[in-house]
Amino acid sequence: MTLKSAETWYEATAPARDAAPPPRGVIAADVCVIGGGLAGLTTAMEVQRRGRIAVLLEAKRIAWGASGRNGGFVGNGFALGVEDIIEKVGLKNAQALYRLSAHGTEYVRREVTRLDQTLRMSDGVIVAQRVNDPSGSRRYVEMMLRDFSEGLELLSTEQTRMLLKTERYFQGIKNPHSFLIHPLRYAQALADDARHRGVLIHENTPALDVRKEKRNFIVRTAQAEIHAPHVVHCVSSLDRRINRTIGRAILPIATYVAVTEPLDQDAIRTRCGVGDMRRAGDYYRLISDKRILWGGRITTRVSEPARLAQMLKRDMLSVYPQLGDPKIDYAWSGLMGYALHKMPLIGRTADGQWFATAFGGHGLNTTAMAGILMARAIADGDDEYRRFAAFAPKWVGGPFGRIGVQASYWHMQLRDVLDERADRKKRE
Ligand SMILES: Cc1cc2nc3c(=O)[nH]c(=O)nc-3n(C[C@H](O)[C@H](O)[C@H](O)COP(=O)(O)OP(=O)(O)OC[C@H]3O[C@@H](n4cnc5c(N)ncnc54)[C@H](O)[C@@H]3O)c2cc1C
């Protein structure tokens, strides 16, 4: 399969920008943020808003990692589902965590509106059921309203199939408050605004190591040293050596996106984002020029774009065979960071280094939430970040951890298929 370009659709539709040059010499700051994805950018922005001097170091370009290449779905919650969070920390704590995640969503909504309204591409996300279970869906919607004040809409099978022309789906659960953005342009706009406000941003600048000297941390780069009493690690799974405690607790998980050529199609009749309710589900949406952006699958090794374009196309056609043989113009992978418990890692190491990372596949709201928590902790002494203490960093088990994740994904896929089969049998 020949792709139109090796770049992502987001890169192809974002303006070209000059890179911010690396630093030289010794620089004093209040906070040094390592990593220029959305976690690092929001932290630096919020620290600066509270009157502190922030330096941000990015190894490549702003949002080069997951932040600039994701699905663009923004909505409340975490990579770990609410039922599992309740099981782990109880209902009250789960509600407090969910409220924090909602602050993150609100933050992105507000910033997008303030920076450039066109960053928000459409509204609403529908989670489509692969198994016919109207009472289960209703119970979920009622629980989310009662326990989390989340007003979801239940769509009948008929209503769902009006919007999504496939017999694969039954009920749909719509969150009208979720929305869809152009994540790369959002991160770039946030970076430009942060720089304008005084954040010192340096691209093509990997942090090489961090050491403590009296009251300061010293972050070394190829040609500079940043001296600051606070350092915040926001590198996700892309550098597992810069801080051993966090590096050992985060697994790199690759996931994939493909974008079709512009299509005249009648299968997807909504601008809402769509996710399917399976344990290992797909997600997709219509983007400009009538293209379909289709995401899904996870692996613990990065597959090459042409092969993954084929895989994703097969997934897409298994839901919408009527699309025929659409050409895939763009396909790319991205690395997410996951802790074994699937919740973000937010806190401080024994020697006082901050970390805000491991947002998994639900990072657009939670990176914003974490940036606010970090800035409040550093500038105001606020300790709300401690709510994440129940989800502390734990060793993920090196290569065995990776094998475990891949095996559990295949296991989830298998259970999805078996559940669908059982449901089909029941209806026959
Ligand atoms: C394909 C895909 C689809 C997704 N879809 C969604 C979605 O629809 N909705 C959602 O909420 N979430 C989604 N996610 C998850 C979300 O994108 C991430 O959770 C989030 O972007 C993580 O942000 P981050 O800042 O922690 O990490 P990243 O964005 O990965 O940023 C880390 C940065 O650190 C830099 N870095 C690494 N090492 C160093 C170093 N030594 N010095 C300096 N810099 C360094 C890297 O270059 C990188 O830019 C998706 C992820 C992927 C990959």
**Residue 210 in contact with ligand 1 by CB distance below 6 A:** no
In whole numbers, what is the pLDDT of the chain averaged over residues? Answer: 92
**Residue 336 in contact with ligand 1 by CB distance below 6 A:** yes
Query: What number of CA atoms fall less than 13 Å from residue 343's CA on the CB side?
Result: 24
**Residue 252 in contact with ligand 1 by CB distance below 6 A:** no
Query: Which pair of tokens denotes residue 374?
Result: 């970090």
How far, in Å, CA of 407 to CA of 296, rounded?
16
**Residue 59 in contact with ligand 1 by CB distance below 6 A:** yes
409 band by pLDDT with thresholds 50, 70 and 90: low
How far, in Å, CA of 283 to CA of 15, rounded?
26
What is the percent of the chain with per-residue pLDDT over 90, rounded to a whole number?
82
**Residue 359 in contact with ligand 1 by CB distance below 6 A:** yes
The pLDDT assigned to 197 comes to: 97
The pLDDT assigned to 395 comes to: 79
Calculate how far, in angstroms, residue 257's C-alpha sits from the geometric centre of ligand 1.
14
**Ligand 1 atom closest to residue 41's alpha carbon, by position in its atom list:** 25
Check pLDDT > 80 for residue 335: yes
Residue nearest to atom 3 of ligand 1 (CA): 70
Q: How far is CA 150 from CA 76, 98, 145, 206, in A?
A: 9, 10, 5, 40
**Residue 188 in contact with ligand 1 by CB distance below 6 A:** no
Query: Which pair of tokens denotes residue 388?
Result: 């994440």
Calculate how far, in angstroms, residue 236's C-alpha sits from the geometric centre of ligand 1.
6
185-239 pLDDT per residue, tens: 999 999 999 999 999 999 999 999 999 999 999 999 999 999 999 999 999 999 9
**Residue 43 in contact with ligand 1 by CB distance below 6 A:** no
Residue 219's Cβ-count burial label (10 Å; 0-12, 13-18, 19+) is: buried
C-alpha 364: how far from chain center: 5
If you search the block for the tokens 């004093």, which residue do you land on? Answer: 28
How far, in Å, CA of 172 to CA of 295, rounded?
19
Among 109, 188, 336, which residue has the most ligand 1 atoms within 8 Å of its CB, making it the best to mutate?
Answer: 336
Question: Of 67-81, 125-139, 293-307, 347-361, where does mean pLDDT reach its minimum?
Answer: 293-307
Check pLDDT > 70 for residue 421: no
Query: Is pLDDT larger for residue 202 or for residue 278?
Result: 202
Residue nearest to atom 9 of ligand 1 (CA): 73
Calculate how far, in angstroms, residue 420's C-alpha sits from the geometric centre of ligand 1.
32
Calculate how far, in angstroms, residue 252's C-alpha sits from the geometric centre of ligand 1.
11
Calculate how far, in angstroms, residue 238's C-alpha sits from the geometric centre of ligand 1.
9
Mean pLDDT of 33-51: 98
Mean pLDDT of 49-54: 98
AA identity, residue 22: P
Residue nearest to atom 15 of ligand 1 (CA): 361
Cβ proximity of 347 and 386 under 8 Å = yes
309 band by pLDDT with thresholds 50, 70 and 90: confident
How far, in Å, CA of 296 to CA of 258, rounded?
9
Q: How far is CA 126 from CA 65, 78, 164, 325, in A?
A: 26, 17, 10, 25
Candidate ranges 221-235, 275-289, 297-311, 384-398; pick with highest mean pLDDT: 221-235
**Ligand 1 atom closest to residue 255's alpha carbon, by position in its atom list:** 1
Mean pLDDT of 288-315: 85
**Residue 367 in contact with ligand 1 by CB distance below 6 A:** yes
Among residues 251, 218, 254, the alpha carbon closest in space to that of 345 is found at 251
Q: How far is CA 208 from CA 28, 134, 222, 275, in A?
A: 17, 53, 7, 39
Question: Which domains does the chain carry?
Answer: 9-424 (3.50.50.60)
Q: How far is CA 411 from CA 192, 259, 396, 408, in A?
A: 43, 27, 19, 5
The pLDDT assigned to 367 comes to: 98
The pLDDT assigned to 308 comes to: 82
**Residue 369 in contact with ligand 1 by CB distance below 6 A:** no
Cβ proximity of 69 and 267 under 8 Å = no
**Residue 36 in contact with ligand 1 by CB distance below 6 A:** yes
**Ligand 1 atom closest to residue 60's alpha carbon, by position in its atom list:** 47
Check pLDDT > 70 for residue 270: yes
Cβ proximity of 333 and 238 under 8 Å = no
The pLDDT assigned to 289 comes to: 83
145-178 pLDDT per residue, tens: 999 999 999 999 999 999 999 999 999 999 999 9
The pLDDT assigned to 162 comes to: 98
For residue 122, list its beta bridge partners.
180
Check pLDDT > 60 for residue 418: no
Among 43, 125, 335, 359, which residue has the most ligand 1 atoms within 8 Å of its CB, making it the best to mutate?
Answer: 359
Q: How far is CA 358 from CA 172, 193, 234, 382, 396, in A?
A: 29, 25, 9, 22, 12
The pLDDT assigned to 397 comes to: 73
How far, in Å, CA of 395 to CA of 388, rounded?
17
What are all long-range contacts of 218-222, with beta carbons under 8 Å and residues at least 24 apart?
219/32, 219/34, 219/57, 221/22, 221/23, 221/57, 222/22
**Residue 125 in contact with ligand 1 by CB distance below 6 A:** no
279 band by pLDDT with thresholds 50, 70 and 90: low
* Cα dihedral across residues 62, 66, 69, 75: positive or negative: negative
The pLDDT assigned to 405 comes to: 64
**Residue 273 in contact with ligand 1 by CB distance below 6 A:** no
If you search the block for the tokens 């985060």, which residue do you land on? Answer: 250
Calculate how far, in angstroms, residue 207's C-alpha sits from the geometric centre of ligand 1.
17
The pLDDT assigned to 423 comes to: 60
Check pLDDT > 60 for residue 9: yes
How far, in Å, CA of 240 to CA of 398, rounded?
11
